[in-house]
Structure 1
Amino acid sequence: MQKKAAELERMAEVLVTGEQLRLRLHEAKVIKDRRHHLRTYPNCFVAKEIVDWLIEHKEASDRDTSIKIMQKLLDQSIIHHVCDEHKEFKDMKLFYRFRKDDGTFPLDSEAKVFMRGQRIYEKLMNTENTLLQTREEEGVTYERTLVASESIDWLLQEGEMPTREEAERLGRRLLEHGIIQFSNKHHFVDGGLLYQFRMNFRRRRRLIELLNERCRSIPENHDSPFCLRKQGSEGGNTSFLSELCSTSYTYSQAHSLSKCTPLDRLHKQKRQVSPEELQTPGGPYIKKTFTIVGDAVGWGFVVRGSKPCHIQAVDPGGPAAAVGMKVQ
């Protein structure tokens, strides 16, 4: 079981790392529609260009390492040649595509468990009185922990599982796949035992990790550029909201509300605008609120800065883009 869990965890790490790379390449517009011999290939990247990009962004030290990284993604069916002709990633002007962009990603039973675990993790983090907490057991502190019986109650309450028996079986599958663990390697049972989410889905992965035997060889970095987090919260709560209500302010004297994009005029001002000035009744700024419903990956945008913040990147295929959010 331990060997299988290690293999499945490795697969999950590759999936998360590949998805983070896909979002970055969309942000950098490395992925785009391309033409060859009068035919258009949507959402593609050029192998030679991606090798250059990995070196430029210090994800790889040389071209050989870049090729090995992309070959790993190819072997795990994260990417593929547009015509599936090449099983080896070649440093040439060949078109490749992420399977998530063309809907060919193979959702086998193992991948489904991983995606289910990721969704449950995010929903637990989103709960106001979250069950996912830092707890102590026998003098040892564990992060991202939950009590088995409480988690099963929550799964039933949220409609994730119809019965306690099925919820318990789901817990066992998450344990077998290395997504959660018990401090003493105990099997998952409906009771008062403490379990820990072994996998932090929000950790920023480095691509070089794909070539390491141990996926935990590099310390965790919780400041992921692909996750929007609450900044400066008193309780240290940096959870997502599954349904995000985002409020922005537009300069009413410059554009009508219907034509103005979030924070567009704000960032063109020559001086710093305080939050108090933004919220002053009768002032020159108009508040606009829209709702983003997150998917299994997140909300699909990157936020930076504070007082005020700005939108640094938007995933073209994500929930944020669907409601009209744009880079500012």
Structure 2
Amino acid sequence: MERASSLRRKSTARQHKGEVMIAGEQLRLRLHDGKLIKDRRYHLRTYPNCFVAQELIDWLVSHKEAPDRATAVCLMQHLMDHDIIHHVCDKRSVLKDAKLLYRFRKDDGTFPFNTEVKIFMRGQQLFEHLIGDKDSILQLRVEHGVAYQRSFPGCQLIDWLLQNMEAESRRQALDLCRILQEHGIIQHVAKKYDFFDSGLLYQFCINFRRRRHLSELLSESEDVVILTQEDNHLESPFVLHKSHPQEGSSAFQSGKYLKQVTSGHRGSLNSSQLHSAGFPPFVQLNSTSVICNPKSVLRRSYTCEELLAPGAPFMKKVLTVIGDDLAWGFVVRGMAPCYVQAVDPGSPAAAAGVKVRQFLCQVNGQCVLYQDYRTVSRLVMTGPRTIVLEVMEPLE
């Protein structure tokens, strides 16, 4: 069960990464068509295939891709975090709404074509080939009284791969399909079984041809979290309950901010819902509860320069957190610097000495002082189970 939960979380994260890649490519092609991407000259040097961040933000707002400039910046930062775009000199990790030059990594050949990306592109190529077939195996099929669009029996996909020379043997075709399933590209229609060379029905998780709206990326990214997503329940310290809306007041009432969970497992809080700049304050979980965006625990905000100033009232600590089957048990917040917003009292983080209001300086030896919470979350999620944190703790 725990392994299945872990695989589901990894698959969800990979699906989101795939959606970001598709949305980024669709945006790149639109910007080329709109002549926003072109050769630009700056300080006696010509930079090919660039766009000006400020012009792109204007374009996103005017084309209704973002409701305001702050959200547009968040969207582009999301693409930057996923290595879709970058500053032309790679000197800036944070996108600024200014007259600075940025470029799509696909336009300058710096896109990281790692194994995961190659598998995703192979899945996209197979989807396009299958959907374009005159007698495509992707059809409306019924299983246990439920109709599934563009579904296919596993054995038919194996046959198709062999007929179209996409695989040399049934074993090789089966291995390919299982890799595609592991990376969140195909799945069993009811999400119950691994891929088998049988009559079980499967379908593509991603419709590669669907036009993506960039605003979707922010809500989809909420599946990638430091705290586990498997236990969203009413015992979570960040759950709100619906109440009858009253004039002049919020329609939601906050529960206790933080409490000990006694049900044997921890509630979870999505770190992406803890950042207020351009993000919705809560996300719907079910008909009776939502996750809220609690008030910052900081007494006041700090800049990186203040933290590093000589004589600053902070003490550095190195903490080793060994994650358990429910993840690590803490939440980070902030653009730069990041800080600990909440710690589950019974978690590995609490046992290691992680406390609220600590600022994160390093994660596994990598400096994160100037990174936002999304980058820090990704470092933790994609790293080893044991993480070494260097933090700065206020002297009180």
Which residue pairs with 1:203 in the alignment? 210
* Aligned residue identity for 1:213: E
1:70 to 2:76 alignment: yes
Which residue pairs with 1:168 in the alignment? 174
Which residue pairs with 1:189 in the alignment? 196
* Aligned residue identity for 1:88: V
Which residue pairs with 1:27 in the alignment? 33
Which residue pairs with 1:87 in the alignment? 93
Which residue pairs with 2:12 in the alignment? 6
Using the alignment, how far apart are the partners of 1:214 and 1:68 within structure 2?
12
Deviations 1:138-166 (A, max 9, x none): 11010111111111111111111111111
SS of the residue aligned with 1:205? coil
- How far apart are 1:214 and its partner, in Å? 6.5
Using the alignment, how far apart are the partners of 2:165 and 2:44 within structure 1?
50
For the 8 Å contact 1:80–1:97, the answer to whether it is kept is: yes
Pairing 1:234-313 to 2, within 5 Å after superposition: none
* Aligned residue identity for 1:204: R
- Which of 43, 46, 50 aligns to 1:44? It is 50
Deviations 1:67-120 (A, max 9, x none): 100000000000011110000001111110001111111011111111000000
- Which of 197, 212, 215 aligns to 2:219? It is 212
Using the alignment, how far apart are the partners of 1:144 and 1:213 within structure 2?
23
- How far apart are 1:121 and its partner, in Å? 0.4
SS of the residue aligned with 2:91? coil
Deviations 1:193-246 (A, max 9, x none): 1111121111111010111136999xxxxxxxxxxxxxxxxxxxxxxxxxxxxx
1:114 to 2:152 alignment: no
Q: 5+ residue gaps in structure 2?
A: 1-6, 224-282, 284-396
SS of the residue aligned with 1:96? strand
* Aligned residue identity for 1:35: R
- Which of 144, 149, 157 aligns to 1:143? It is 149
How many pairs align? 217
For the 8 Å contact 1:34–1:41, the answer to whether it is kept is: yes
| Misfit runs of 4+, over 2 Å | 213-217
* Aligned residue identity for 1:207: L
SS of the residue aligned with 2:167? coil
- How far apart are 1:40 and its partner, in Å? 0.7
For normalisation by structure 2, the TM-score amounts to: 0.53
Q: 5+ residue gaps in structure 1?
A: 218-328
Using the alignment, how far apart are the partners of 1:194 and 1:183 within structure 2?
6
For the 8 Å contact 1:33–1:41, the answer to whether it is kept is: yes
1:180 to 2:171 alignment: no
SS of the residue aligned with 2:215? helix
For the 8 Å contact 1:13–1:215, the answer to whether it is kept is: no
RMSD: 1.5
Using the alignment, how far apart are the partners of 1:6 and 1:176 within structure 2?
10
SS of the residue aligned with 1:213? helix
Deviations 1:257-301 (A, max 9, x none): xxxxxxxxxxxxxxxxxxxxxxxxxxxxxxxxxxxxxxxxxxxxx
For normalisation by structure 1, the TM-score amounts to: 0.64
| Larger-Rg structure | 2
Deviations 1:27-64 (A, max 9, x none): 10000000011111000000111011111111111111
Using the alignment, how far apart are the partners of 1:200 and 1:8 within structure 2?
14
Using the alignment, how far apart are the partners of 1:187 and 1:214 within structure 2?
25
For the 8 Å contact 1:209–1:215, the answer to whether it is kept is: no
* Aligned residue identity for 2:81: D
* Aligned residue identity for 1:47: A
Using the alignment, how far apart are the partners of 2:109 and 2:220 within structure 1?
29
Aligned sequence identity (%): 56
For the 8 Å contact 1:10–1:215, the answer to whether it is kept is: no
